[in-house]
């Protein structure tokens, strides 16, 4: 989907345009539904939910608002308060009204990275504060509920910026890795609780670059990269098993897990 005089849907496998909807008022594209079928646009206090066959405009109350997610009838929005914090609010598309219940009363920090479950059930957002603290905001889009899980480490923003998230293939465990803080955390998605935590040793990790991360198909290893080196975290042994030079900016495993692809 592109921003401009039209909203365009493109097939990622063929790079061919599959739909186009005019955008004469030049609304800003701010997101999409979990399945990608609908675009979310904003112009001032108006949000537009657009599909190839429809265009719906909704107005929000005064204040600063941002898009968070869209699933079914639920448009999840971020509402900023006056003290540098956020609230997660729910707008029902069917009625066009904001739900009076605040899904999450206060979030701190700035959104840094996001991971979504393949079925669109969950959305995980990493928030990092200026003091180097970090947390994961887990949003259940089916039950419209949210919770924040604090991550270890504070005092160094550069180390906090090395946090990376990967989701297990069964979407039951979210792994968070910070080479800067030397921490690995496993979060049980259903209970929203940390069930695994251990330390790793990666001295001289480049904290100036975001950490690329990918989970092996068997779920036993996480490969991470800082554009200078590539390291492997063994989740069962709870340690680094290798670290080699490599200017990878993205990583991927072959379907059988036999090969680690490095993109530079």
- CA-CA-CA-CA dihedral for 186, 209, 87, 97, to nearest 10: -100
50 pLDDT higher than 60: yes
2 pLDDT higher than 80: no
- What is the DSSP pairing of strand 229-234 with strand 221-225? antiparallel
Q: What is the pLDDT of residue 258?
A: 92
Give me the mean pLDDT over the 209-233 stretch.
96
Picking from 107, 109, 112, the residue whose alpha carbon sits closest to that of residue 76 is: 107
Picking from 169, 173, 123, 132, the residue whose alpha carbon sits closest to that of residue 150 is: 132
Half-sphere exposure of 113 (CA within 13 A, CB side): 16
Q: What is the pLDDT of residue 85?
A: 80
DSSP 102-166: -SEEEE-SEEEEEEE-TTSSEEEEEEE-TTS-EEEEEEETTTTEEEEEEES--S-HHHHTT-EEE
- 86 or 231: which carries more pLDDT confidence? 231
33 pLDDT higher than 90: yes
Q: What is the pLDDT of residue 198?
A: 98
Beta carbons within 8 Å of 203's beta carbon, 6+ residues apart: none
- What is the DSSP pairing of strand 65-71 with strand 54-59? unpaired
Distances (CA, A) of 45 to 32, 38, 40, 98: 18, 19, 13, 13
> What is the pLDDT of the chain when averaged over all its residues?
92
Q: What is the pLDDT of residue 3?
A: 46
Helix (H, G, I), strand (E, B) or coil at 86: strand
1 pLDDT higher than 70: no
Are 186 and 246 in contact by the 8 Å Cβ rule? The answer is no
Could you report the per-residue pLDDT of 139-154, keeping only the tens digit for each?
Answer: 999 999 999 999 999 9
Could you report the per-residue pLDDT of 88-135, keeping only the tens digit for each?
Answer: 999 999 999 999 988 876 788 889 999 999 999 999 999 999 999 999
How many other C-beta atoms are found inside a 10 Å radius of the C-beta of residue 160?
26
Helix (H, G, I), strand (E, B) or coil at 27: coil
Q: What is the pLDDT of residue 18?
A: 92
* Separate counts of helices (H) and strands (E) for the chain: 1, 25
In this structure, whether the domain defined by 109-264 belongs to CATH 2.130.10.10 is answered with yes
Q: What is the pLDDT of residue 231?
A: 97
Could you report the per-residue pLDDT of 165-191, keeping only the tens digit for each?
Answer: 999 999 999 999 999 999 999 999 999
Domain ranges for the chain: 109-264
Q: How far apart are CA 140 and CA 104, in angstroms?
A: 12
Could you report the per-residue pLDDT of 186-198, keeping only the tens digit for each?
Answer: 999 999 999 999 9
Q: How far apart are CA 116 and CA 31, in angstroms?
A: 13
Helix (H, G, I), strand (E, B) or coil at 16: strand
Picking from 158, 175, 235, 164, the residue whose alpha carbon sits closest to that of residue 200 is: 235
**Which pLDDT band holds residue 229 (cuts at 50, 70, 90)?**
very high
Q: What is the pLDDT of residue 109?
A: 86
Q: What is the pLDDT of residue 4?
A: 54
Q: How far apart are CA 80 and CA 163, in angstroms?
A: 24
Q: What is the pLDDT of residue 224?
A: 97
Q: What is the pLDDT of residue 17?
A: 94
Q: What is the pLDDT of residue 80?
A: 86
């Amino acid at each position: 989907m592109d921003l401009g005089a039209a909203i365009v849907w493109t097939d990622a496998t063929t790079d061919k345009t599959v739909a186009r909807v005019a955008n004469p008022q030049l609304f800003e594209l701010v997101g999409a539904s979990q399945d990608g079928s609908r675009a979310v646009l904003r112009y001032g206090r108006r949000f537009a939910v657009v599909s190839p066959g429809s265009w719906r405009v909704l107005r929000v109350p005064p204040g600063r608002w941002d898009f968070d997610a869209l699933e079914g009838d639920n448009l999840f929005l971020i509402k900023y308060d006056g003290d540098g914090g956020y609230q997660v609010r729910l707008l029902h598309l069917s009625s066009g009204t904001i739900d009076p219940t605040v899904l999450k009363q206060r979030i701190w920090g700035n959104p840094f990275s996001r991971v979504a479950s393949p079925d669109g059930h969950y959305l995980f957002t990493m928030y990092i504060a200026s003091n180097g603290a970090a947390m994961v905001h887990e949003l259940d889009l089916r039950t419209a509920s949210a919770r924040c899980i604090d991550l270890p480490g504070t005092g160094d923003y550069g180390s906090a910026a090395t946090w990376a998230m990967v989701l297990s293939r069964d979407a039951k465990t979210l792994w968070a890795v910070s080479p800067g803080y030397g921490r690995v955390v496993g979060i049980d998605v259903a209970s929203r609780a940390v069930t695994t935590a251990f330390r790793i040793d990666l001295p001289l990790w480049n904290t100036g670059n975001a950490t690329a991360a990918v989970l092996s198909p068997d779920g036993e290893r996480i490969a991470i990269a800082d554009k200078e080196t590539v390291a492997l975290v063994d989740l069962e042994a709870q340690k680094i098993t290798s670290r080699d030079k490599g200017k990878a900016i993205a990583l991927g495993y072959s379907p059988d897990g036999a090969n680690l692809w490095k993109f530079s």
